[in-house]
Amino acid sequence: MDQQIAPPAPITTQARVSKFPKLNKKSIIIILGLSILILLIPLILLSYSKKQAPEPEPPQAKTWEIILNYDNKINALAFKKLSILNQEITADFRSATYSPYELVVSDKEDRALFRTKVNITEQILYNILNEPVSSASALNSLPASLETTLYIPFKSTATKIVINKDYSPILQINIPPEVAFNFIPEVLAQTSPQNCGGMQVVFISDGYTDFNKFHNDINEITAAFSSTQPYAGKNIFDYKIIDNSQPLGCTTSMAYCMTNSSNLIKQIGFQRFPSASKFIVLVQNVGQQRDGNLGITNSVGGDIAIFARRTDIPAEEFTKTAIHEFLGHAVGLLYDRYVSADPSYGRLVGNIRSNCTDNRAGESFWSNSGSQGVFQGCGNQSYFGSSPLSCPSRNPFLSSAGNPTTIMSAAGCSVIGFDGVEQAWINQRVIPLYQTSCAQPANTPIPTTPLIPTSPANTTNNPSGSCTLGSISCRPVENETSPVGRYGINVHCVGRQDLCTNGCDYWCQSPSIPTAAPGSTTTGAGANTSSVTNTPTPTPLSGNNSTPTTPPSPDTAKTYTCEEVPSSGSAGSQVQIKTLNCH
């Protein structure tokens, strides 16, 4: 009989489980973590293999370009254009310290974000020959309107740009705040001057085919500058060169060039040298300009001077013209000593009373500076100079050629140099503006010892230092930051703060413009380490110093559309305010 084999005993559940290790909670977490890491590794490698997106660029520095027109028929300032440029321009406004015009940028809280004195061209000044001329005119008639281009630091939170004349608002430009530019919060009440150190002077050529000749002419001019008193030894100029091949129109007519190409000249200059103060255009071979004009400047304190190497006049007149136009008018704030037959020529600017005045008694500083007295005729027959008009005129467009003791007389009468009165003015009122070191604190005042007082037009002598007009009360305050008055003292106004007139020689702040923040200055050559000019040593210039020019192409980020709106002068003001809304 077969023997039956018993089936194997069934394996219990406990026995089956025991073949695998028992996992605790910690082990499970470790396993899950490793699994997730294994899954993420390919994703991480894939992301690094792709090109990473570039980080956003920091906000680009921007500048307002403001173009204004001065209408000579009605003696009024008009707005022409407002744009934002994608370029940082730190224009030097120190030469406008004594200008009657001030520009203020404010925010919606009416806080001053930026303020500076500015020069606005109201006239053109010439250096002309005391010789009969063959053309129909020795002095070109004054253009109906003259343009001024201003470059102002852009402020993203600004809502208003106001231009004051004699501290009364005459033009207001309302603009929307450009918060989209996302700039760093504004620093309030940045005041001019922002630049320190020497005056940056840019030479620009027009009509030169040989730039070596251009550089040689510059060397001749700068050598003359450095040897002319009182500038000799002061080292206040920092010269730059642009070898420009773009026609500016100066070879045809310097007056045409000044009237129609001044914006282009500034664009070319600021594109290469954004901290420039003055621009000198040298014109080659313009012997055909036989109208008696040797050089031209856009007013006392102007920022553009044009003069030519002419083939039809003695070579000496080239450097004499440069000294007359640049060191005399543009930098020295001096007027012509010749007397034009045109009674409207050579109008006095603001309260600048240097070598010419409308005061029949003369200026007080004249008597200690070699003045020969007070003599009628200075620029035109209405004003007075400190020396007699001893050069008879051989030019039918001049009543007198001036006095042979100064280069500010007409060519043929003048000498190379300034008279005692002119040197005193330049030494005490001009040169100190450009001798402030960049290492000094921003609120360091310029040296003004002794200070030459000036005579504002249509005001009354009031040496007591205080005055009242209705609800206006003005009093002198030591160490105040307001501009210096006629007697060399600073003042502060209380009550309704308007311009003191009719017995007040002292500056008062307009109520619509907030005062500068404590510690800032509204006059003087304050330093700003963020706007440092090159070492102001007038070294000889060569081709290595020059910069080849390219057509100016400032990247205009925006041009505003502006409409004039009805407005009127503030209470007690004799000036009508023009207001524009821009968007």
Domain coordinates of the chain in residue numbers? 63-331+526-582, 336-418, 455-525
Low-confidence ranges of the chain (pLDDT < 70): 1-23, 40, 42-60, 133-142, 179-194, 285-292, 437-554, 567-575
Tell me if 386 sits within 8 A of 366, measured CB to CB. Answer: yes
pLDDT value of residue 514: 31
pLDDT at 11: 53
pLDDT of residue 448: 33
Q: What is the pLDDT of residue 356?
A: 97
Strand pairing category for 380-385 and 375-378: antiparallel
Those residues with Cβ within 8 angstroms of residue 97's Cβ, 6 or more apart along the chain or in another chain: 117, 193, 433, 523, 524
pLDDT of 16: 52
Please give the structure tokens belonging to residue 527. 């330093």
In 153-298, where does DSSP find H-type helix? 211-226, 254-260, 262-272
Look at the pTM and tell me if it is higher than 0.95.
no
pLDDT of residue 242: 97
* CA distances for 367 relative to 256, 364, 374, 385, 405, angstroms: 40, 6, 10, 12, 16
* Strand ranges in 373-510 using DSSP code E only, listed in sequence order: 375-378, 380-385, 398-400, 467-469, 472-476, 491-495
Query: Residue 88 in contact with residue 276, Cβ under 8 Å?
Result: no
- CA dist 243 and 62 (Å) reads 26
Q: What are the tokens at 338? A: 């010749």
Using DSSP's 3-state secondary structure scheme, residue 293 falls into: strand
At residue 437, the pLDDT reads 59
Q: What are the counts of helices (DSSP H) followed by strands (DSSP E) for the chain? A: 7, 25
pLDDT tens-digit profile of 274-333?
A: 999 999 999 986 655 545 578 999 999 999 999 988 877 788 888 999 999 999 999 999
pLDDT of residue 187: 46
pLDDT at 105: 94
**Chain centroid to CA 300: how far?**
14
pLDDT at residue 430 in the model: 94
Give the helix ranges, DSSP H, for 79-145.
none
What are 121's two structure tokens?
A: 């061209």
What pLDDT score was predicted for residue 390?
94
Which pLDDT does position 535 carry in this prediction? 31
Residue 35: predicted pLDDT: 75
